[in-house]
Structure 1
Amino acid sequence: MSVSAVLQTARTRIRLPEPSDAPKLLRFRVDNRAHLAPWEPLREDSYYTLEHCAQAIADGQAAARLDRGYPLIVFSPDGEDVLASFTLSNVVRGPFQACLLGYSVSAGLQGLGLMHEALEAGLAWAFGELGLHRVMANYLPRNERSARLLERLGFEREGYAREYLRIAGRWEDHVLTAKIRTGD
């Protein structure tokens, strides 16, 4: 995806962030700090600074240029507000053609189908333009919203990993799921 490419849905504009988006990303992080804390690794206070957001954007652009990852921001249609984000990370080519999916949505927008809408567009792009065969997504067993979202998107459960990731300061089990491109 070029830095200027945009995925459009009925309620969103999805794209790689640009340096000028750092204040918007910071506002999303700060506004959703408590909401996302139970589902993410512990964050240093520096994570909630403009400098960290600017560096994350620069790192994301570099990852996209190298086809290693695509940290996408889900903006409001006018591009002013960050509604959600999702990342296609750890892209592996060769015989695997796969990546990991992670995502987050603003606390006030949960349950409105916005993440489903954005991920449908992102997955179509991943399986289409990116040519990926497999997208994997893992979630905490107690995260029922993620379980339902991934199921609705066509992800299938593939396993269970004990103490898979360190989330909110403790090693947490995860349910492993994947969606595979059909028609290959």
Structure 2
Amino acid sequence: MLKSENIYLRPFILSDADELLLLRNKNRSFLEKYSMTRPTTYWSLEAQQELIVKWEQNKQKDIEYYFGIYKVNDHKLIGTISLFQVMRGPQQRAFIGYDLDQEHNGNGFTTEAAKLIVNYAFETLNLHRIEAGVMPHNIGSIRVLEKAGFHKEGIAIKNVKINGIWEDHQVLAIINPNE
């Protein structure tokens, strides 16, 4: 478990699937504006259970690390954060991804979570670089990353297909300061 003053990060376990599904369904229309289109089956308990099993398998393979974001005061799941596409060898890098319950936006929780996972990536996983891609109009997400120490590197043109449209993404990164 990774912990700060207001939140903690914990890998998902199978019994978290119900709470994860509730969070995702509650925020579905909000999140769909910023993420790739998901099949209808994604929004089911079975799909969330399969994802949790896959995340654990991928953690064992050192290719993906997925955590729930929980509030310290009531242990409520309010979001997710991950390191994915972990590359070893000469790159030693990963991408960061996250989402937060819309009603908890603006409270600094995602920034805290990003700082925790960046520290985990550098101190525990010994990664050299973490990258992020954010649609340029998603100012809140860019602000989260900048507060967590990321710097802008450029725009990836028509980088990810979201809701049937190829969207540009602001590329941000952070380098391990211990290297």
Q: Does the C-alpha gap of structure 1 residues 9 and 182 become closer, same or farther in structure 2, counting only changes over 3 Å?
A: same
Kindly indicate whether the alpha-carbon contact (under 8 Å) linking 1:164 and 1:174 is maintained by their aligned counterparts in 2. Answer: yes
Q: How does 1:166-181 map to 2 (within 5 A)?
A: 166-181=161-176
1:53 counterpart residue number: 48
2:119 counterpart residue number: 124
Q: Which secondary structure does the structure 1 equivalent of 2:69 belong to?
A: strand
Q: Does 1:136 align with 2:139?
A: no
Kindly indicate whether the alpha-carbon contact (under 8 Å) linking 1:116 and 1:153 is maintained by their aligned counterparts in 2. Answer: yes
d(CA) in 1 for partners of 2:115 and 2:57? 24
Deviation, structure 1 residue 78: 6.5
Deviation, structure 1 residue 80: 4.7
d(CA) in 1 for partners of 2:104 and 2:30? 11
d(CA) in 2 for partners of 1:167 and 1:130? 30
Q: Does 1:33 align with 2:24?
A: no
Q: Which secondary structure does the structure 1 equivalent of 2:111 belong to?
A: helix
d(CA) in 2 for partners of 1:18 and 1:154? 30
Q: How does 1:4-83 map to 2 (within 5 A)?
A: 6-77=1-72, 80-83=75-78
TM-score (norm 1): 0.93
Gaps of 5+ in 2: none
2:88 counterpart residue number: 93
Kindly indicate whether the alpha-carbon contact (under 8 Å) linking 1:24 and 1:80 is maintained by their aligned counterparts in 2. Answer: no
d(CA) in 2 for partners of 1:158 and 1:152? 15
Kindly indicate whether the alpha-carbon contact (under 8 Å) linking 2:6 and 2:73 is maintained by their aligned counterparts in 1. Answer: no
Q: Which secondary structure does the structure 2 equivalent of 1:38 belong to?
A: coil
Moved >3 Å (runs of 4+): none
Deviation, structure 1 residue 152: 1.3
d(CA) in 2 for partners of 1:9 and 1:169? 38
Give the aligned length: 179
1:3 counterpart residue number: none
Kindly indicate whether the alpha-carbon contact (under 8 Å) linking 2:85 and 2:95 is maintained by their aligned counterparts in 1. Answer: yes
Q: Does the C-alpha gap of structure 1 residues 166 and 121 become closer, same or farther in structure 2, counting only changes over 3 Å?
A: same
1:119 counterpart letter in structure 2? A
Deviation, structure 1 residue 146: 1.2
Deviation, structure 1 residue 13: 2.4
2:143 counterpart letter in structure 1? R
Identity %: 31
d(CA) in 2 for partners of 1:108 and 1:168? 23
TM-score (norm 2): 0.96
Deviation, structure 1 residue 135: 0.2
Q: Which secondary structure does the structure 2 equivalent of 1:39 belong to?
A: coil
